[in-house]
Amino acid sequence: MILTLAVSGYRSLRDVVLPLDRVTLVTGANGSGKSSLYRSIRLLADVAQGRAIASLAAEGGLQSTLWAGPEAFSAGMKRGDVPVQGTVRKGVVSLKLGFADEDYGYAIDLGLPVLGAGSSFSMDPEIKAEALWAGEVLSRSNEIAGRNGPVARVMNSKGQRVPVIQNLAGFDSMMTHAADPRDGLELLVMRERMRAWRFYDHLRTDRDAPARYPRIGTRTPVLGADGGDLAAAVQTILEIGDRAAFSEAIDDAFPGGSVGITVSDGYFELQMQQKGLLRPLRAGELSDGTLRYLLLAAALLSPRPAPLIVLNEPETSLHPALLEPLARLISRAAESTQVIVVSHADDLVSWLAPQPGCLRYELRKELGETVVDAPGPPRWAWPKR
């Protein structure tokens, strides 16, 4: 389970360090930074896939995603006595992301490229530093692997940090290039954990959503990000997952309802029987809210539980009556999976917040910066360049 999440210099997140629990709720008004926090976790996961630079480019590049305010706020700025203005910068421009779980911690520092490099890709950000350590807080004594510039070092069996790569490109992470079963086993373990994180914010329910149409199906223990493989994912749950839990989740939201899968020539199609109807409804006939609930149920009741699932505004399209069943579904999933929920649905938050192992954070903006009231933030240290 992730114990600490840290973000610095990303959009409105100037410097945020948060403890996490089995379920972590993130709420706040529009524009308070909820989406930025969600995107920062996705960006961190993209590091393990080797997609961090491309993901930043898709957001407009590093310059567009960096904190746009001053390096620090003076007391006068905070009181409103003087206007917010830039000051002489003391530190380097950087975007830093990191986390620590029960075994290891990892952090990455991305910065601006060196000018005059003579490349058409001179606007791409560079990875300036990375670190993997044992325990919750990075220190020189517990660092297992580290990267500064092009050199990546890994601690060997004798406790010595030896170079394993000396010409690592600025767009490549040691997480993807130095993970090795022999010399970088811990890096390999952490990379696979991060690759198993799941994010759901683009579950399609529109008229042309793939989940509404028959599709060739194969065993699908993990629902795809867009939900297009819903029918195969549900059939996988019914065959090798917790069939009873899935049926209970459907009946909880739609009393007397049930879901089944028809297969014809390898094409899988979802059908739902609802109380009072003489025939089951095909997926193409379901309302957006009904289909979204079924997608969330398939994601949260996966036969292959993820170490982390992040849900961004799962209440979209749902009738208020479905929020309480969704809260129970999330609580059940949290028995085997850590869940982060980004939401502005008060009912969903109020049903989840009292549950054991649940933390709630309400974000707000002050002088353009996202502020989180988190008592006693955990200790944190970033890797040095």
Helices within 272-345 (DSSP H only): 288-300, 323-333
What is the rounded CA–CA span in Å between residue 368 and residue 366?
5
Which residues is 259 bridged to in the sheet?
272
The pLDDT assigned to 116 comes to: 59
The pLDDT assigned to 58 comes to: 85
pLDDT bracket for residue 341 (50, 70, 90): very high
Q: Are 253 and 300 in contact (CB under 8 A)?
A: no
Mean pLDDT value across the chain: 90
The C-alpha angle 227, 228, 233, rounded to 5 degrees, equals: 70
The pLDDT assigned to 109 comes to: 96
| Ramachandran sector of residue 9 (left: φ over 0; alpha: ψ -120 to 50; beta: rest) | left
3-state secondary structure of 165: strand
Q: What is the pLDDT of residues 19-32, one digit of tens each?
A: 999 999 999 999 99
What is the rounded CA–CA span in Å between residue 260 and residue 385?
55
The pLDDT assigned to 77 comes to: 58
Does residue 81 carry a pLDDT above 60? no
**Domain definitions of the chain by residue range:** 2-197+363-372, 200-305
The pLDDT assigned to 118 comes to: 64
- Look up residue 384 and give its two tokens: 């040095």
Q: What is the pLDDT of residues 120-149, one digit of tens each?
A: 776 788 999 999 999 889 998 899 999 999
What is the rounded CA–CA span in Å between residue 51 and residue 173?
9
How many residues are given for the chain? 385
Mean pLDDT value across residues 179-191: 87
57 or 336, which is more confident? 336
Q: Are 344 and 27 in contact (CB under 8 A)?
A: yes
Q: What are phi and psi of 88, to 5 degrees?
A: -65, 120
- Look up residue 75 and give its two tokens: 């007391």
* CA-based torsion, 137, 143, 148, 154: positive or negative: negative
Does residue 49 carry a pLDDT above 70? yes
Q: What is the pLDDT of residues 206-262, one digit of tens each?
A: 999 999 999 999 999 999 999 999 999 999 999 999 999 999 999 999 999 999 999
What is the rounded CA–CA span in Å between residue 129 and residue 109?
5
The pLDDT assigned to 24 comes to: 97
Which residues is 127 bridged to in the sheet?
110
The pLDDT assigned to 179 comes to: 86
Does residue 277 carry a pLDDT above 60? yes
